[in-house]
Structure 1
Amino acid sequence: MKEEVLNDDSGAHLPLLFGRVLDGEGGGRPIDWDEVQRWNPTAAEPVLWIHLLRTHLGVQEWLEDWLELTEPTAELLTSDATRPRAFREGHSLVATLRGINFNPGAEPEDMVSMQLWSDGVRVVTLRRLPLQTPRIVCNEIDSGMGPNDAGALVTALTEHMIDRMSHSIIDMNDMIDELEDETIGNDTGEMLDKIVAVRRNCLALKRHMSPQHEALTSIANSAPAWFEEHDRREIAETIARLRRHLDDLDISKESAVVLQDDIRARAAANTQKTQYLLTIVAGIFLPLSFITGLLGINVGDIPLAAPGSHGFWIIVLMCLCIFAAEIMVARRLKWL
């Protein structure tokens, strides 16, 4: 589903990417920017959700005026401070969460942040870069299978954000398994580059996801009263799932380290084997080189140099005998 970027009368883009009014039964209807300004909760339409582009000019001022937020809170919701965190402010919940960046050309460790504010009646989410999680939840609402209140909406957003992380973690695990199957007969340098990329992704995801674990725990423990008990249980399940993802990242990182050490050990063993063979060959040919070099000096009285003495063939036969003797000694000493 494409985000619905609304326009005002002048044609300038408004901050509203899309909005939905929940009907309390899992469904909802779209709402435009003008209606957002006039909206009030009713029994038939108890919750409003709007998804905003936080980089739009005037968003912070609008949040302060319409939601009556304090300046620090409005600044937090529109700033580039994207470290995951969550806290309660009166009867409202304020949170910054991160999700995997699945935009074209992005790497898994490139995280996308989403700011969230809710007072139990209105839910406001904000983003800078496209994030697929809000679109998924919006599709569920349009199909009548979405959340029915603000707490369930916050829970659905966090659940989908964490679930999508599992795809990147599974992909990294599959890549490690493939690399383990390809360790023999492949370019060592290329494989080491792939393993380094996996380790870098694991470290980056772990660095970003650990604060997210703390943020979700804060939501579960200190959310306002409108965040009901079943919502807290759902958040607890999401926290447990995130904890498993963090453990999987640790396993993937350790597997990559073991595989990297194994490849380097094999490469070192192959190098040592080659050096060993070259040393044996050099040791075998050293006496032969000494004899031929000694007899090849250009001075008088060189033995077997007289015409008719068959010196060349005698030297060849002598070198062959020395070579055979060296081979026998090397075999007996188990050098070959």
Structure 2
Amino acid sequence: MKNGNGLICAYLLKEGAGQPADWDRVKTWTPDQGVLWMHLDYADETVRQWLLNESGLNEVTCSALFAEETRPRIVSSPESLLLILRGVNSNPGADPEDMVSIRMWFDEHRIITMRHRRVLAIEDIRQSIEAGKGPDSADDFLVMIANRLIDRMGDVVSDIDDRADELEDMVLTKESHELRPMIADLRRQTICMRRYIAPQRDVLARLQNERIAWLSETAKVYLRETSERTARFVDDLDAARDRAAITQEQLNNSLSEQTNRTLYILSIITAIFLPLGLLTGLLGINVGGMPGTDSNSAFAIVVALLVVFAIIQYILFKRKKMI
């Protein structure tokens, strides 16, 4: 729940625990009081005015934090870090691939995180702080938020992989009109997620090499592991996308084979009945001189001849292995 206008929550971090803070505490905070973490709603006008006029952040950083469309990115200096990451949308009724952005700014003594839609990875950190197991420094917080984002992402990627397995098993048994939307949905989901996870992999990989005074070597080791996990997720998404494409190709081939078999059967039927139709058409013209018009057995003879002719055609097609 929000602590004030645009302030979702704020804590003074110390030894894994945190003291809740409001706007008044934020505005009177000094670095000697501990590491300050502020979690803000960037769509709120109060937040905008505070960030532009009172936060001490430069205009370029503020513009990046308020940008409407964001992709994972990193901008660092020896004292501060601007980091934008994405997490799966785990909000009720939302699509997981509709990934939500978390905008973050760090220095040694202050952490500012911003979002508009709820990010459950942040909720995880809040619960850890309230349980006395939260971060106690800026680099510790950075490692924790990166891990929480990847942990929640892993469940969705695993589900995509399982769905790809199911589609491969269903391609020979499921009706095509049921299977096609499922394949299309899987491919759309993998493409949407990869759009953000791939650059996030690159951002985390680059973060390990940034020269930031307060980012410890231990934190870089943990971030390296997070980067590796993200890279594996990208590989899993690529594999799921390729498997969905192969499944789609198998389905198309199966439908093509069914269509060809149907057309082949129709062609055989046409080949058998076309000459029969020609004969019956000739015998059906209403002109003088038609043979058998005065004979009561002429119709039976004609039918018998047509049957014999059809049987001969069938035998010829059978010998030529056309049927």
Q: What's the TM-score once normalised by structure 2's chain length?
A: 0.95
Q: Residue by residue, what CA displacement relative to the aligned partner does 1:11-52 show, whole Å, maximum 9, x if unpaired?
A: xxx11101222222x22232222222222344xx63221110
- RMSD over aligned Cα, in angstroms? 1.7
Shift of 1:5: 0.8
* Paired amino acid for 2:179: M
Does 2:23 align with 1:33? Answer: yes
Kindly report which structure 2 residues correspond to 1:266-277, keeping only aligned pairs within 5 A, or say none: 266-277=254-265
Distance 1:227 1:165, change over 3 A: same
In structure 2, what is the equivalent of residue 304 of structure 1? 292
How far apart, in 2, do the equivalents of 1:52 and 1:179 lie? 42
Does 2:60 align with 1:72? Answer: yes
Shift of 1:171: 1.6
How far apart, in 1, do the equivalents of 2:78 and 2:14 lie? 25
C-alpha contact 2:7 2:47 (8 A) present in aligned 1? no
**Equivalent of 1:59 in 47, 50, 75:** 47
How far apart, in 2, do the equivalents of 1:120 and 1:278 lie? 78
What runs of 5+ residues in structure 1 fail to find an aligned partner?
8-13
Secondary structure in 2 aligned to 1:221?
coil
In structure 2, what is the equivalent of residue 333 of structure 1? 320
C-alpha contact 2:106 2:138 (8 A) present in aligned 1? yes
Shift of 1:65: 4.2
Secondary structure in 2 aligned to 1:5?
coil
In structure 2, what is the equivalent of residue 206 of structure 1? 194
Shift of 1:108: 3.0
How far apart, in 1, do the equivalents of 2:2 and 2:219 lie? 30
Percent identical among aligned pairs is: 34
Shift of 1:234: 0.7
Secondary structure in 2 aligned to 1:246?
helix
How far apart, in 2, do the equivalents of 1:331 and 1:81 lie? 67
Q: What's the TM-score once normalised by structure 1's chain length?
A: 0.91
Deviation larger for 172-181 or 49-58: 172-181
In structure 1, what is the equivalent of residue 302 of structure 2? 315
Secondary structure in 2 aligned to 1:110?
coil
In structure 1, what is the equivalent of residue 237 of structure 2? 249
Shift of 1:106: 2.6
C-alpha contact 2:77 2:211 (8 A) present in aligned 1? no
Shift of 1:287: 1.7
C-alpha contact 1:87 1:223 (8 A) present in aligned 2? no
* Paired amino acid for 2:186: V
Deviation larger for 287-296 or 218-227: 218-227
In structure 1, what is the equivalent of residue 270 of structure 2? 282
Deviation larger for 224-233 or 105-114: 105-114
How far apart, in 2, do the equivalents of 1:218 and 1:284 lie? 72
Distance 1:82 1:246, change over 3 A: same
- The number of residue pairs the alignment matches comes to 323
In structure 2, what is the equivalent of residue 139 of structure 1? 127
Kindly report which structure 2 residues correspond to 1:1-336, keeping only aligned pairs within 5 A, or say none: 4-7=1-4, 14-24=5-15, 26-42=16-32, 46-308=34-296, 310-336=297-323
How far apart, in 2, do the equivalents of 1:66 and 1:158 lie? 28
How far apart, in 2, do the equivalents of 1:231 and 1:81 lie? 29
* Paired amino acid for 1:225: A
Q: Residue by residue, what CA displacement relative to the aligned partner does 1:113-139 show, whole Å, maximum 9, x if unpaired?
A: 111011111111001111111111111
Q: Residue by residue, what CA displacement relative to the aligned partner does 1:213-242 show, whole Å, maximum 9, x if unpaired?
A: 222223221151211111101110010000
What runs of 5+ residues in structure 2 fail to find an aligned partner?
none
C-alpha contact 2:139 2:214 (8 A) present in aligned 1? yes
C-alpha contact 2:208 2:223 (8 A) present in aligned 1? yes
C-alpha contact 1:21 1:49 (8 A) present in aligned 2? yes
Secondary structure in 2 aligned to 1:29?
strand
